[in-house]
Amino acid sequence: MIPYSSFSFFMILGILLIPVVVLGYKEKRSIVYNSFVHVVILLLAFASDIHQLVSFIVYIFWQVILVHWYAFYRKEKNEAGVFYAVVFLALVPLLVTKLLPVWSMGNIVGFLGISYLTFKTVQMIIDMRDGALKTVTVKEQLMFLLFSPTISSGPIDRFKRFQKDMETIPTREEYRLLLYKGINKIFLGFLYKFIIAYVINDRVIETPFIQAHTPLSTFIYMYAYSLYLFFDFAGYSAFAIGASYIMGVKTPENFHLPFLSKNMKDFWNRWHMSLSFWFRDYVYMRFVFWMMKKKWIQNRYTVSYIGYFLLFFLMGVWHGLELHYVAYGLYHAALMISYDYFERKNKQWKIWKKNKGTEVLSVIITFHVICFGFLIFSGRLF
């Protein structure tokens, strides 16, 4: 059973959460009961396929061993080579999962949500390298990794932020507000995913007219698919965030009106935010810092552009190794670099002045550019 995809899932989730709500109102939290909820949801997600369940359990063991070994090692030493090796080992299960289909072998190691779990582990290892995270217990790591509301597709939380929510129990008034917001989000999710996204898919995308590959149908498909993608994924995210809130965890948002972005930088601060922020903090910034320190390239902007290229290339490949995902990544890398260059030069040229008119025009242009990106992403072109 895929989380948040059927009526029966919501029924089970609703019943499971009743004791959580009752305890929440009493300003209490039962770790034992919450763990039971997580186990039930994880079993629902994986138990129908024994391969997935086994892979999932082996994967969790693997990541716990890696993180704990590295935490132990990091107390005494801090070699770069060891750090890279541990990050690589944490990525191995994901790499194998992505590569097996390319070698046309059955996907026996993958399971739903593996890429999202990998983000969580890798950030813990990087934080340890930085010294920002010193000690972690097996229990804390398991609670973070196995937090079931976000297990299948995020949003990707940060360990230290999550930990703070785990350590504080909301007051009755705070919990009442969390519960209210949580239920609100879940209903927003119903509207987005099961009404709007469903209608767009059923009445537009799946019609014979759009399915016939004419230039006009592809043009309409581009916009329909973009809207579908947003409402489907924002709907899912609202379920995941809403369920988290009810369990007292303020999982970060994933979307903030992305189709009203003023430019490409703005867009990546509004679209799939937990993913783009992860790449920003753990790939781009780290790469730029490292390059500037080594001073291999003098021009700071060149360093920044190589960083953008790396970020978006990896983000594209992360979706899958198919050509259209790679092209999607490169498209956004090119856009980001061009926009950054333009933004900088515009400070001297002043051709794009800031007023109400240009602002509206910027939003319109950005919208179409984004939609073309999703057309590439959809795989319809190639």
Q: Which residues bind another protein (CB under 8 A)?
A: 123, 126-127, 130-133, 265, 280-282, 284-286, 288-289, 292-293, 300, 304
Name residue 380's amino acid. Answer: R
Q: Which two tokens stand for residue 367?
A: 């919208």
Which token pair is 96?
A: 């194998």
**Active-site option among 38, 51, 319, 324:** 319
Q: How far apart are CA 291 and CA 297, in angstroms?
A: 7
Q: Dihedral of CA 250/255/260/261: which sign?
A: positive
- DSSP code string of 49-79: SHHHHHHHHHHHHHHHHHHHHHHHHHHH---
Which of 132, 151, 124 is CA-nearest to residue 69? Answer: 124
Q: What is the DSSP string of 325-365?
A: HHHHHHHHHHHHHHHHHHHHHHHHH--S--SHHHHHHHHHH
Residue 172: how many other CB atoms lie within 10 Å: 11
User: 31-46 and 50-76 helices cross at what angle (nearest 10)?
Assistant: 130
Told to judge if 319 belongs to the known catalytic residues of this protein, a careful annotator would answer yes
CB of 123 to another protein, least distance (A): 8
Is residue 114 a contact partner of residue 94, using CB atoms and an 8 Å limit?
A: yes
What is the DSSP secondary-structure string of 271-305?
SSHHHHHHHIIIIIHHHHHHHHHHTS---HHHHHH
Measured between alpha carbons, how far is 2 from 59 in angstroms, rounded to an integer? 19
CA-wise closest residue to 270 among 234, 224, 320, 315: 234
Taking the least distance from each CB to another protein, the nearer of 159 and 236 is: 159
Output 219 or 289, the one with its CB closest to another protein.
289
Q: Which residues are catalytic?
A: 319
